[in-house]
Structure 1
Amino acid sequence: MKYLYVTSVLLLFLVTSCVSKKKIVYFGDKKKVIVNSRLQQYEPTIQKDDLLNINVSAANAEAVLPFNIYETPILDNSIGSAKPLPYLVNASGEIKFPVLGVLKVTGMTTNELSEFLHTKLAEYISNPIINISTINFKVTVLGEVNKPGTYQIQNQRITIVEALGLAGDLTINGNRDITLIRERDGERVFIPIDITNKALFNSPYYYLSQNDLIYVEPNKSKINSSGIGANTSVIFTSIATFISIIAILIQ
């Protein structure tokens, strides 16, 4: 009986191996956090290689035809079935816009670009309406999450928490100090993010930019267990046998 008790305690210790609650629980600090108002108004800016859907409309449908580009030429009464083409932001951060020519657009939000085009097009069209969206806005989540992958974002506004939610949340083996990888001015920047700390909600990286990558490393328990692998049962059996021998010797 004494042998069984010692074995059970030892195996329980090995399986549960102490992990601090602070290293597991998200946003563990109980203090109230006031979110920065600038973050609440966050809008991503246009970047190189973005695909922009820009649609110009007005009461006079014919007046806007020169300012939209379509997959096939517009014939009489065929505008409703014509497929618009996106604008690719080139390596110089520019797009080629009909009539207006080459426009520098990187660094603007879609709202700012819409206002800029409205001012320019008002010289040609009465009360133009401009709708702009980024059609290739995506983020990638890899590592210790339940559903790793690349996710297309429709509304162009997503937080780290929402991206982790899309990926099915971290596994129990995921390190809560995650890494955000972002391209900035042609360079990749690696940014550590602690999701156990409420300061995340006021981080300038709380909202993601297009093409951001989140990587969740395995924690120490997962790394250590990977060294054991399929031999786990063998090791536990060996320990139990060793304890059994010791118990017999000390009786």
Structure 2
Amino acid sequence: MHTTFSLKNTIKVLSILLIAVLTSCASRKDIIYFQDEPVSDETHLENNYELSYKPNDILTIDVSALDPDAVRPFNLSSVMYSNNGGNLNNAGLNANGSVLRQTYLVDPNGNIEFPVLGTLNIGGKTRAEVTEMLKEKLTVYVKDPIVNIRLINFTVTVLGEVNRPGTYTIQDERISLTEALGLAGDLTIYGKRNNVFLIREVNGQKKYAKLDLTSINVVNSPVYYLSQNDVIYVEPNNSRVRQSTYNQTTGVIISAVATLATITAIIINSNK
């Protein structure tokens, strides 16, 4: 009778522990990002081989010419600062100092305030278009002006199953999807190669696309070359999702279940 009671209790404990294991596992919906909006393709996005300026972009614009004095009014002055409050040397620097270049911030209407020329609308224009516009306006004041424009806050964010997720600043103002994934250390073995998710802002609206890296045709995608502030998300595969559902408590429970199962088997065999 005592053995029967112990066996019944052991089986009951095993059942409770197995239920605990099953209920402790999170579902796929607890793990995957961006699930609520189905995305079929990226046909609503256009090729963007050359970036165009948008609100919140930060630019440096340098104007030069044979006569340096003639272009001085059209260049923002640099601000020299010291990190420790010490005196600056003749070069405008000390051991802990630096030169901070003033920049242009594109406002919500796509405008910048340019010295002498006033308000200029550059939203939606490419670097070549803005350069030509500035040269045309500056020619009234300067002979043969040279304009150099640089976007300094071109960033892309790579999340999910990559080796080094994070936000990356791009120096050359042009980067492809594969280059961005390369910066992030490539996909891990758990990343879904056929389901890479991209978020892009176009004219103030969020656009979405899904890409299949297993297909060579991905290089012909309208979103293969990235825009500033693009977000790339690599979805984990089922193996990673299953791994993510196990916590430390689950491991302890599984060990306990295995131990009790062994004890139960011994009890059953001893009563045969």
Q: Same fold (TM over 0.5)?
A: yes
Partner of 2:26: none
Q: Deviations over 1:96-145 (max 9, x none)?
A: 11111111101111122111111111111011000000011111101111
Partner of 1:127: 144
For 1:42 and 1:212, the matched residues in 2 are separated by 14
Correspondent of 1:49 among 56, 79, 89: 56
Contact kept, 8 Å, 1:159 with 1:206, in 2: the verdict is yes
Unaligned runs of 5+ in 1: 1-37, 74-79
Contact kept, 8 Å, 1:70 with 1:83, in 2: the verdict is no
What letter matches 1:180 in structure 2? L
Q: Larger radius of gyration, structure 1 or 2?
A: 2
Q: Is the aligned partner of 1:198 residue 2:195?
A: no
Q: Secondary structure of 1:175's partner?
A: strand
Partner of 1:209: 227
For 1:138 and 1:167, the matched residues in 2 are separated by 13
Contact kept, 8 Å, 1:68 with 1:84, in 2: the verdict is no
Q: Shift in Å at residue 206 of structure 1?
A: 0.4
For 2:113 and 2:164, the matched residues in 1 are separated by 38
Partner of 1:60: 67
The correspondence of residues 10-159 of structure 1 with structure 2, limited to 5 A, is: 42-71=49-78, 84-159=101-176
Q: Deviations over 1:71-100 (max 9, x none)?
A: 459xxxxxx967541110000001011111
Partner of 1:171: 188
Change (3 A) 1:206 1:148: same
Instruction: Report the TM-score, using the length of structure 1 for normalisation.
Output: 0.72
Instruction: Report the TM-score, using the length of structure 2 for normalisation.
Output: 0.66
Q: Deviations over 1:207-249 (max 9, x none)?
A: 00011111111111111232345556947x94xx79xx7xxx9
Root-mean-square deviation over aligned CA pairs: 2.8
Change (3 A) 1:83 1:227: closer
In the alignment of these two chains, the number of paired residues is 200
